[in-house]
Amino acid sequence: MNIPALEGTIAKRTLHFFWLVDASGSMEGKKIASLNEAIRDVIPEIQKAVSAHPEVQVMMRVIRFSDSAEWLIGPTAVPLDNFSWSDIKAGGTTATAQAINLLASELDIEKMSRRGYPPVCILLSDGFCTDPESEYDRAIQALNDLPWGKRAVRLVIAIGNEREYDVDQLLKFVS
């Protein structure tokens, strides 16, 4: 008995990756080189992992922050296959709260796919935020108040050795 082949396309659900990258002066030298290398090295691994899941469409965005926060890639998301990393340079202060506020502005329920996967938000920093602590705490609270902010997979990659980053500030982003 011949069974006819089913044809059609797989319905894709979107997975948004948000990279928040610290390009402040405290990241100069080995730290910024490590950050650049880490992102370049992980992209092929993400592509390999996603290749086994044709139902997932990965979209990438990057927020760069130093004296201020700005979209390096975005706010319009770029498909993973079109994403490439260009090394960034370090200099200036560390406007982490501004970067988190910029992220929160895109995690609004109206801007994200309602049927998508929870976004992945990765902060790469030494954690020495120069924003006032109250501003940083308000940015974290704004993120926590959003449905996608609460559901997001929020990760931190601390750059430097244990004496070179602020664990408490970094953990506020994860928590």
Is the pLDDT confidence value at 61 over 70?
yes
Query: Considering the entire predicted model, what is its pTM?
Result: 0.89
Q: What is the DSSP string of 73-130?
A: EEEEEEEGGG---------S---HHHHHHHHHHH-STTTS-TTSPPPEEEEEE-----
Q: Classify residue 91 as left (phi > 0), alpha (psi -120 to 50) or beta.
A: left
pLDDT confidence band for 162 (50 / 70 / 90): low
Average confidence (pLDDT) over 86-100:
95
Q: Among 34-43, 108-117, 161-170, where is mean pLDDT lowest?
A: 161-170
Average confidence (pLDDT) over 93-108:
94
Alpha carbons 66 and 149: distance in angstroms, whole number = 22
More confident residue, 156 or 127: 156
